[in-house]
């Protein structure tokens, strides 16, 4: 049941498969004879430095995957010196995640709740915990239809686990449910800009017109995402819309997630204009297999693969990549 929750997607899982399949269809075209002894993998995103262009995407319910849950994840992410986008639906409170790894670089993912006062209270907690950006998930006006979860009847957390960021009191029952509301609109983004100074990233942009509107609305960045194929099935693979979103975003930094499994996938996304990518399921698999060590293993393996793929492409820096390094197989 829990494996299916982590692995699964919406509907027939067409989009879930397409994310990996579309990346696999692209070819990398290396350059030659550009000698350089070392590579620079680091990037600065909205003022936060990351040691590599690979972030940890927000995923819910880490205590289902490993006993320490998000505490193990954040220790591994801090050791790798990259950014963890803490899920609003984490099973450890954002304050406790921050306390577990002082100096960890945290962004906070938010589903805007219809109750603005409650939403604001959560933002204040994220700010106080030291999160340096807000990632607003905008692809969920309703929860995706995940048929694996329906078949398994997985609709609530095991005893003793809760969404700790939605707590409103000290008793076990004092935790609200996340509402995915179809009423959220651009007005809410304008309101968020008034109540917080944190840079705002919109997560779940797939339409180029929305990329243009987002730039107009004064957000700091975009995350091209289809929620790992878990929201509306048959939406495009993220790598296939990335270039047009980059073109429409008016120079805003554009991140991407969905189907990134190898260093070569990271290079393809960067070549097509992403400033960085994020990993969802691979982090959960590392966590489930070996806790903190497992997440470290996933992050160090992909770092090594990015470095190796850069060498092979004749690049000294992630900034050397451009669209000429990628072509579609005939």
Ligand X SMILES: O=C(O)C(=O)c1ccccc1
Active centre residues (catalytic): 227
- Positions 28 through 67 that interact with ligand X (CB under 6 A): 60
Q: Alpha helix (H) ranges present in the chain?
A: 2-7, 14-25, 62-65, 70-80, 94-100, 116-129, 147-152, 186-195, 208-216, 238-248, 263-271, 281-312
- Cβ pair 251, 258 in contact under 8 A: no
For ligand X, the closer CB: 89 or 123: 89
**Binding residue for ligand X (CB under 6 A) from 79, 121, 178, 213?**
178
Name the binder of 281 from ligand X, ligand FMN, none, CB < 5-8 A by kind: ligand FMN
Q: In this chain, which residue has its C-beta nearest to ligand X?
A: 89
For ligand X, the closer CB: 162 or 262: 162
Q: Among the candidate windows 120-128, 185-193, 251-259, 291-299, which touches ligand FMN by CB under 6 A?
A: 251-259
For ligand X, the closer CB: 97 or 270: 97
For ligand FMN, the closer CB: 253 or 320: 253
89 touches ligand X by CB under 6 A? yes
d(CA 155, CA 98): 28
Residue that the structure tokens 């997985």 belong to: 154
- Positions 268 through 327 that interact with ligand FMN (CB under 6 A): 279-281, 284
Q: Tell me the CB-side half-sphere exposure of residue 204, using CA atoms within 13 A.
A: 17
Least CB distance to ligand FMN at residue 259 (A): 5
The binding track of 79-108 with respect to ligand FMN, each residue x by CB under 6 A or -, is: --------x-x-------------------
Least CB distance to ligand X at residue 150 (A): 13
60 touches ligand FMN by CB under 6 A? yes
Least CB distance to ligand X at residue 227 (A): 6
Residues near 275 by beta carbon (within 8 Å), at least 6 away in sequence: 43, 45, 53, 221, 253, 254, 255
Q: Interhelix angle for 281-312 vs 70-80, to 10°?
A: 10
The backbone region for 303, taken as left when phi is positive above 0, alpha when psi lies in -120 to 50, beta otherwise, is alpha
Burial class (CB in 10 A: 0-12, 13-18, 19+), 310: buried
The sign of the CA dihedral 41, 44, 45, 51 is positive
For ligand X, the closer CB: 10 or 249: 10
Residues near 101 by beta carbon (within 8 Å), at least 6 away in sequence: 74, 75, 77, 78
For ligand FMN (CB under 6 A), the number of binding residues is 23
Interacting residues toward ligand FMN by CB under 6 A: 6, 19, 57-60, 87, 89, 109, 137, 203, 225, 227-228, 230, 257-260, 279-281, 284
């Amino acid at each position: 049941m829990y494996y299916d929750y982590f692995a699964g997607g919406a509907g027939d899982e067409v989009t879930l498969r397409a994310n990996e399949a579309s990346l696999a269809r692209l070819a990398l075209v290396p350059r030659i004879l550009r000698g350089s002894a070392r590579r620079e993998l680091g990037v600065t995103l909205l003022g936060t430095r990351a040691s590599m262009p690979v972030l940890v995407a927000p995923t819910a319910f880490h205590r289902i995957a490993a006993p320490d849950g998000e505490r193990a994840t954040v220790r591994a992410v801090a050791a790798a010196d990259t950014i963890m986008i803490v899920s609003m639906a984490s099973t450890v409170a954002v304050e406790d995640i921050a306390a577990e790894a002082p100096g960890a670089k945290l962004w906070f993912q938010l589903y805007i709740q219809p109750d603005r006062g409650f939403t604001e209270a959560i933002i204040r907690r994220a700010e106080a915990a030291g999160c340096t950006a807000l990632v607003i998930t905008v692809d969920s006006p309703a929860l995706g239809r995940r048929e694996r979860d329906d078949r398994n009847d997985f609709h609530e957390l095991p005893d003793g686990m809760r969404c700790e960021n939605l707590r409103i009191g000290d008793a076990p029952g004092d935790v609200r449910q996340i509402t995915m509301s179809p009423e959220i609109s651009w007005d809410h983004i304008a309101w968020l800009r008034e109540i917080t100074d944190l840079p705002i990233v919109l997560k779940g942009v797939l339409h180029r017109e929305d990329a243009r509107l987002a730039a107009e609305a004064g957000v700091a960045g975009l995350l091209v995402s289809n929620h790992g194929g878990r929201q509306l099935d048959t939406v495009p693979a993220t790598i296939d819309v990335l270039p047009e979103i980059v073109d429409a975003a008016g120079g805003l930094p554009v991140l991407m997630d969905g189907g990134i499994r190898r260093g070569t996938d990271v290079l393809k996304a960067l070549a097509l204009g992403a400033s960085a990518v994020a990993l969802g399921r691979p982090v959960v698999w590392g966590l489930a297999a070996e806790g903190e060590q497992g997440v470290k293993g996933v992050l160090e393996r992909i770092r090594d693969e990015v470095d190796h793929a850069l060498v092979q492409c004749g690049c000294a820096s992630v900034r050397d990549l451009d669209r000429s390094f990628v072509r579609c197989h005939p």
